Amino acid sequence: METIMVLIFFGMVAVMMAVTPYITRKTESFGVTIPEAAYLDPELKKLRKQYAAVIIVFSILLAAALFIAVSTSQLLQTGFALAVLVDIAGNFLIYLYFHRKMKAIKKTRNWAAGKKQAIIVDPKFRSQKLIFSNAWFLIHASVTAATFLMTWLCYGRIPDRIAMHYDFNGTPTDWVEKSYRTVFELPTVQLFLLILFIWLNTMIAKSKQQLNAERPEASLEQNVRFRRRWSAFMIITGLLMILLFFAIQLSFIVPIPIAWLSYGGMGAVLLIVVGAVLLSVTTGQGGSRIRVGNGAVQGRFQYDDDAYWKLGVFYFNRNDPSLWVEKRFGSGWTLNFAHPAGWIILGLIILIPLLLGVFFS
Amino acid sequence: MLMKIDLESDVPIYQQLHNSIMEGIASKELAPGDSLPSVRAMASDLGVNMHTVNKAYQILKQEGFIQIHRQKGVVIQPDQMPPADEPYLESLTGKLRPLISEAICRGLDEKQFLKICEKLYNDIQKVGEQWKP
């Protein structure tokens, strides 16, 4: 059962990586700015196919290696952690190879000739409804508050030893002694998640406005819908996770079959991952796969900001006060690493879970 | 309304931004009382330094085309737009003079020059016309 879950996980990651060049904006190819028309260039089409094939082959080999390692040595936890690291490094190196290749292709072509670059902005962009209101998080907040309240009121009913981990047969493998500190661990994590998701939703609205200079009107419409869809996804994902923690906490007080919890948990995670993949594929980066009217076509070329994209994926632009910008290779947003707040946020995102872990252990 | 900024142009970015906003007001795409993005948001969307945007906003404010409030943010002048008064006419004449001189030097006759002026005057008032490349 665990092996199947792990294989599903690697399969999903492989699919997500393989489709990446197909869901980016059509003005980008492997982290390199291109004119929209060049996206259909046979050489670029071939590059995308090759990339997808290499990723799939690599993932199958990795999954097979993991499978063999686990069945001979039984070290699923270590093997899995190692495989994740190898997967991340491997995928990045494969990307990097294609990024270099794409850069070389760009050099041989004369795409920019005779075309003027421009940045297009709509000054009224931010007066539109870009995200679903943070008021939706009142539902999440109520569930979190209910978890805190329930834990406080029913403290006496919680058994003296709380099972923290189970194996797949439903046998507890890890116990902690009951105390006010340990019983409030999950509600605290819920609170952290609540704040995190409200902040992410706000950032979706605040992230940089990026219009395709070749078709600004269509791109504007796509961009608004792109933000709204991911905002809805954040609200739903947040609710699923907070509800899951509520259910686990409830199981300390009233008996809930472990199978329900573990299947519910796996179901929720699978739903979130599949949802993210489907949303990425149907929406595309910046909404580039959403069908809208074509709008007026401009004789302008997308502004070439390749110089600010280190290795094609790390944005580093001191002049740009934006904190969040659209990823170039993938779906979603990435930080401007030249922005000091970017590093602080990155630090906090790593530090807070670590501190929570230390405090509650 | 869509504004276009050319980063490779000889015209400074603050000047382009100033001109774009002014044209938005002239074409009525930016109506009196409409809000503009904050300095930070505008700079973020353009990917330029905040000083650049601030400079454009400050000039527009001095000229009386926008207002910058602490709470309401940046809004297009909701009351009286600055009039075409004596100092303005003087500055306009000053700016036109070298342009006309160059046109004469290049052999552009008065009729052609005025025709261009007339076309631009009408185009700007027609919404969206500035989008012709």
**Cβ within 8 Å, pair A121-B131:** no
**Cβ within 8 Å, pair A319-B7:** no
Q: What's the mean pLDDT in A185-210?
A: 94
Give me the residues paired with residue A165 across strands: A174
DSSP character string of A129-167: --S--GGGHHHHHHHHHHHHHHHHHTGGGS-SEEEEEE-
Task: Tell me what pLDDT residue B129 has.
Answer: 46
> How far apart are alpha carbons B110 and A288 in whole angstroms?
48
Domain containing residue B93: 86-130
Q: What's the mean pLDDT in B101-114?
A: 95
Q: Is residue B72 part of a domain?
A: yes
Same domain, B96 and B115: yes
User: Please, which pLDDT band fits residue A21 given cuts at 50, 70 and 90?
Assistant: very high
**For chain B, what is the domain count?**
2
The helix/strand/coil state of B45 is: helix
Q: What's the gap in Å between the CA of A39 and the closest CA on chain B?
A: 23
User: Please, which pLDDT band fits residue A316 given cuts at 50, 70 and 90?
Assistant: very high
Q: What's the gap in Å between the CA of A127 and the closest CA on chain B?
A: 8
Which of B36, B41, B47 comes nearest A320 by C-beta? Answer: B47
> How far apart are alpha carbons B121 and A154 in whole angstroms?
75
Q: Flag whether the ipTM exceeds 0.90.
A: no
Q: Is residue B91 part of a domain?
A: yes
Share of chain A above pLDDT 70, in %: 94
Task: Tell me what pLDDT residue B71 has.
Answer: 84
Q: Is residue B109 part of a domain?
A: yes
Q: Where a domain ends, among B56, B76, B96?
A: B76
Task: Tell me what pLDDT residue B133 has.
Answer: 39
B132 inside 8 A of chain A by CB: no
Residues 6+ apart with CB under 8 A from B98: none
> How far apart are alpha carbons A229 and A286 in whole angstroms?
11
Q: Is residue B8 part of a domain?
A: no
B50 inside 8 A of chain A by CB: yes
Residues A244-257: b if buried by 16+ CB within 10 A, e if exposed: bbbbbbbbbbeeee
Task: Tell me what pLDDT residue A270 has.
Answer: 87
Neighboring chain B residues of A209 at a CB cutoff of 8 Å: 44-45
Instruction: Give the tokens for residue A253.
Output: 């007080």
B75 inside 8 A of chain A by CB: no
Same domain, B91 and B46: no
Q: Is residue B95 part of a domain?
A: yes
A294 inside 8 A of chain B by CB: no
Q: What's the mean pLDDT in A76-101?
A: 89
pTM of the model: 0.89
Q: What's the mean pLDDT in B26-44?
A: 93
For residue B30, the domain's CATH number is: 1.10.10.10
DSSP A303: P
User: Please, which pLDDT band fits residue A257 given cuts at 50, 70 and 90?
Assistant: confident
**Cβ within 8 Å, pair B3-A317:** no
Give me the residues paired with residue A309 across strands: A315
pLDDT in tens, B44-93: 999 999 999 999 999 999 999 999 998 889 999 999 899 999 999 999 99
Q: Is residue B5 part of a domain?
A: no
Same domain, B116 and B65: no
DSSP A339: S
Task: Judge whether residue B130 has pLDDT over 80.
Answer: no
User: Please, which pLDDT band fits residue B21 given cuts at 50, 70 and 90?
Assistant: very high
Residue A42 C-beta-side C-alpha neighbours within 13 Å: 0
pLDDT in tens, A163-195: 777 665 567 777 788 888 888 989 999 999 999
Same domain, B109 and B68: no
Q: What's the gap in Å between the CA of B83 and the closest CA on chain A?
A: 25
B48 inside 8 A of chain A by CB: yes
Q: Where a domain ends, among B55, B76, B97?
A: B76
B30 inside 8 A of chain A by CB: yes
Same domain, B30 and B65: yes
Task: Tell me what pLDDT residue A50 has.
Answer: 96
B7 inside 8 A of chain A by CB: yes
Is the model more confident about B8 or about A317? A317
Same domain, B71 and B32: yes
Same domain, B69 and B99: no
